Amino acid sequence: DYDVAYFKAYSHIGVHEEMLKDHVRTSTYRNAIMHHKDLISGKVVLDVGCGTGVLSIFCAFAGTSRVYAVDASDIALQAMEIVRENELSDKVVVLHGRIEDVNIEEKVDVIISEWMGYMLLYESMLGSIIFARDKWLKPGGLILPSHASLYMAPVTNSQRYHDSIYFWRDVYGIKMSSMMPLAKQCAFMEPSVETISGENVLTWPTVVAQVDCYTIQAQELETITAAFKFTSMLQAPLHGFAFWFDVEFNGPRQSPSSKKKKPDVSIVLSTAPEDAPTHWQQTLLYLFEPIELNKDQIIEGSVTISQSQQHARFLNICLKYFTGDQWYVK
């Protein structure tokens, strides 16, 4: 039932308009496709979660012999019309259904997908890429994107805390501080998706998870735990922790005996605070109470990200951290 609602949400034109207007996202995919044109031209491509079909059409422009564009939401019906409108029906075959359910009668040379969710893994679409890879990708085939990294770092964001919490101290001359505990619960109980800048970040980031789309297995996504140890570069209040990700568009894996060198140029799509903003923004876990940090103060602990037992597309996050001689859990 949840999947039905999930795919229905992706039938709304606003979702696709937002993604298509994300210039960083869409242009990076187009550049990656053209960068690997020699591996796509004349080959068979599978586009998982094709949406409006834009990536499939980019692949057609790169000379693919055939693209299977698959989407379980009703946007697939619009994708069929867009393919016809661009006179590509001889190259792009749109299949309306879940990738786990559709029938493709040949192996493919390339799998392409824009599967990343907030905090990289929210929505858990990566499992569908793994399924498609294991069922249809030819040995030595190309997967775009090929690798992903999830990062985290402690952040300060006094403005956000002021707007959401301290606002209640004086509302048109009326004292409403009694609302502050409820405001903290409502504003900071769940992760917040918003845009911050590099100036909000207190330390160098750490890597929480790395994904190799050529080798990762579905069970590896069930629970991810990473330890961290940060040293604050500033004296500032710690308001929470930010998460963002990068994906890389590298070529097929080379066998150990292969003499072919790894390409010097790697195309990267980054959602980092210091880079151009994307529709993914950053994911923030805010603390209920800020912690005043001194310069060079240590923050260490661990973060565990696990798929919800009720709905695998949801994430549970457990953050344990220690600083200033005190342990905290969120």
| Short-list 281, 274, 278, 246, CA closest to 22 | 278
- Angle between helix axes 54-61 and 75-85 (nearest 10 degrees) is 30
Report how far residue 49's alpha carbon sits from residue 94's, in angstroms, rounded to the nearest whole number: 11
Catalytic residue among 100, 106, 123, 289: 123
Q: What single DSSP character describes residue 174?
A: B
Which residues, in sequence order, are CB contacts of 270 under 8 Å at separation 6+? Answer: 244, 246
Q: What is each CA distance from 157 to 16, 114, 117, 129, in whole angstroms?
A: 30, 30, 23, 36
SS3 content of the chain, % helix, strand, coil (to 5): 30, 35, 35
Contact call for residues 276 and 182 (beta carbons, < 8 A): no
Virtual torsion, Cα 147, 319, 238, 299, nearest 10 deg: -80
- Beta-strand runs (E) in the chain: 44-48, 66-71, 92-96, 108-113, 137-144, 147-155, 192-194, 206-212, 223-231, 236-249, 267-270, 282-293, 298-307, 315-323, 326-329
Q: Is 222 known to be catalytic?
A: no
Report how far residue 123's alpha carbon sits from residue 170's, in angstroms, rounded to the nearest whole number: 39
Q: Is 123 known to be catalytic?
A: yes
Catalytic residue among 81, 87, 100, 114: 114
Which residues, in sequence order, are CB contacts of 154 under 8 Å at separation 6+? Answer: 201, 202, 203, 230, 232, 238, 240, 241, 242, 299
Catalytic residues: 114, 123
